[in-house]
Every structure is written in C-alpha cells, then in structure tokens.
A = this chain, B = another copy of it.
C-alpha cells in the first residue's frame, strides 16, 4: 500500500466543498471517481481541510492510499485527462505510510479577494467579492495585525463546526491593494469553520464604519460570534498554500513541486 500526496488546484464554484456528501457533488468525490478509474478500485482519499461550498484552491493537498503501482507522473497525466476542467493536479509524490495531510500540516495560507470598484468585474464575479465602497487597504492592514498571535478564535467561528479547541496561532495577516483588487492574506497553523470569511467580514465592517477601528482585540476577548462582522461570501476565498514539515526536519514545502 503506497501513500501518495497529490497537489491540486480547483475552481470551487461548481462544488459543495471538499468532503463527500450525499446528494451533492464535491471535489473529493470527483477526484476519487477519477482515481478509481485509473487504479481499478476505489481507494481512500484524505484531504488537508474541509473547504466550504464555493471556496477555491490555488493549492490543496490530499493523500491517496493505493495498491496500484501506477507511477506518479502517469497518475498526474491520467487524473488531469479524466478530471473536469475546473480541477487540475499539479504534483504527486510518495510520502511515508503514516503521513496525514491534515494532522501533519504545519501551516495554511488563505487569500480573500475583494473587487473594490463601483462597477462589477465581468471576469472576476466568481473569483472575488464585489465591494463597491472605497477601501483603505493601509487601514485594514493595520487592523488585521490584531489577528496575529495565539488567540481563542471562538468569535470567528461559525456554529456547526465540530472542533472543540478554538485556539489558533495566526503567523501573518496582510491587506494589499493591486489596482482595484484588494487581497486579505492570512496564515495560521489551522483555521476554524468560516474563520477567514468572518475575519474578512469584520475588516469590511470596520471599513464601512459599522465596527470601530481597534475593535478586534475586544471581539477576540468576547468569544462571541455576534460581536464579529458578517461572513464574507465563499466565492472570494482561496486556499493558497499548504505547508508541511516532513520528518520533523524544519519547514518544508512538501505539497509543492
């Protein structure tokens, strides 16, 4: 039995997130169907995170445990040939049998994209949230620094998550403008259910004057979801990078070619 680490990218528009569900098409099920056709049997596929319906990934890692002897380059080619156009496989490599794409992940980076112009963008409507009123990226960048560090993020966690420990460490948070596109980039050792989308909604409510500047430490301290901002829509969110430190020997880019 080999354990193969696959790196994917996908347009999440058409999918109900990663994880297999009854009566809904998911990325996991779609990749598993393609792998089954190649490997000749249905093999377990484990993802690095559940992602919400409609969320995209520039980089997503999962492992396929397979009895098949197919080599990695052939598997990448064959998966890409069988998968629909909105899921692409960029890499495959064999990892130790006990490697787990979620538990061995040391950090993830998400990017939330905001199209910040009065008029909609006809090419980005599925890949960025349209926010019409001018954003001060410098102000939001300063506000976002309050997310950094180790905090209980209960206020930034939607109801329905199954995780009990809400303490996470955010290692970096940044808001940058490039033309009319404003991007919120955040890295952490892990994220709670809807956490990045609520972090984004909170920044947008500060920008719009609904929440006061400097409010994030108090929201964190409250632990109350109702104290934070709205949940920004899924279609602006991209899982951007997944980091692994294989064999405990320092920060690695195991998921990347």
Contacts and interface: CB of A to CB of B under 8 A. Distances in A.
Interface of A: 9-11, 56, 76, 80, 85-90, 119-123, 125, 127
A86 B123 CA distance: 7
A11 B119 contact: no
Given A87-B122, A88-B121, 8 more contacts: A11-B123, A76-B119, A80-B120, A85-B122, A86-B122, A86-B125, A89-B119, A123-B127
Q: How many copies does the complex hold?
A: 2
B122 A9 contact: yes
Nearest to A8: B122
Most buried by B among A87, A90, A122: A122
Contacts of A119: 76, 80, 88-90
A80 B121 CA distance: 10
Nearest to A91: B119
Contact of A88 (B76, B80, B120): B120
22 contacts: A9-B121, A9-B122, A9-B123, A10-B122, A11-B122, A11-B123, A56-B123, A76-B119, A80-B119, A80-B120, A85-B120, A85-B122, A86-B122, A86-B125, A87-B122, A88-B119, A88-B120, A88-B121, A88-B122, A89-B119, A90-B119, A123-B127
